[in-house]
Amino acid sequence: METLIQIEQIFPSLTWRIRHEAMYPDMPFDSVKLKDDFEGTHFGLYADHKLTGVVSLFSQGDVYQFRKLAVLPNEQKAGYGTKLMEYILDFCKIQKAAVIWCNARVNAKEFYFKFDFIETEDTFFKDGYDFVVMEKELKY
Ligand SMILES: CC(C)(COP(=O)(O)OP(=O)(O)OC[C@H]1O[C@@H](n2cnc3c(N)ncnc32)[C@H](O)[C@@H]1OP(=O)(O)O)[C@@H](O)C(=O)NCCC(=O)NCCS
């Protein structure tokens, strides 16, 4: 039977387990908590009622940053990350956002190119990963 996919806004703490498993399994659990988590808007993708992917959005005026896009390791490459990205891009348009940006892991850059994000010249190294700032202007 086809997998039932549902995306919903979720409470901040529900993101932490998936962030930890997908992004920083070797770091302490608390390291995935963000200082700003309770100011953000968080979304969860449920596959057959099981929380499988998460992403978090933070806004300053009409500039939106998404952080910690994460899909459970055994469920990656099945289109769930794409569905979450499409969902937050729609959400940002509804909010009349001008720009959406992220600190992308360099090894995930190709994934963001699929959504027409542009690589900027801002790069940095943190927690064992190379990052590049990527952004997309939202046009209406
Ligand atoms: C990156 C991530 C969120 C993508 O989610 P996903 O559900 O695996 O991705 P999807 O199945 O929707 O899309 C995968 C597509 O992106 C491409 N891709 C490029 N780089 C990729 C990468 N590092 N990981 C996954 N897919 C990648 C795939 O080739 C595929 O392309 P296709 O649809 O043309 O075949 C997920 O793999 C993940 O949680 N990774 C670990 C944490 C992470 O790196 N998060 C991003 C931090 S910036």
- Give the β-pairing of 129-137 and 118-126: antiparallel
Q: Which atom from ligand 1 is nearest to the alpha carbon of 108?
A: 23
Asked if the structure places residue 59 within a domain, the reply is yes
> How far is the C-alpha of 25 from the C-alpha of 29, rounded, in Å?
8
What CATH number has the domain bearing residue 24? Answer: 3.40.630.30
Is the Cβ–Cβ distance between 84 and 69 less than 8 Å? yes
In a domain, 107, yes or no: no
Q: Which two tokens stand for residue 45?
A: 């993708």
Fill in the amino acid letter for 38: F
Please state the length of the chain. Answer: 140
Output the CA 112–ligand 1 centroid distance in Å: 9
Q: Which residues of 55-78 are buried (b: 16+ CB within 10 A; e: fewer)?
A: bbbbeeeeebbbbbbbbbeebeeb
Q: Is residue 41 part of a domain?
A: yes
- The domain tally of the chain equals 1
How would you write the pLDDT of the chain (140 residues) with one tens digit per residue?
Answer: 899 999 999 999 999 999 999 999 999 999 999 999 999 999 999 999 999 999 999 999 999 999 999 999 999 999 999 999 999 999 999 999 999 999 999 999 999 999 999 999 999 999 899 999 999 999 87
Domain that includes residue 33, residue range: 5-100
Q: Judge whether 140 lies within some domain.
A: no
Distance 103 CA to ligand 1 centre (A): 15
Question: 131 lies in a domain?
Answer: no
Question: Are 7 and 46 a contacting pair, CB within 8 Å?
Answer: yes
Question: Residue 54: inside a domain, yes or no?
Answer: yes
| Pocket around ligand 1 at a 6 A CB cut-off | 22-23, 69-71, 76-82, 104-105, 107-108, 110-111, 114
pLDDT on residue 28: 97
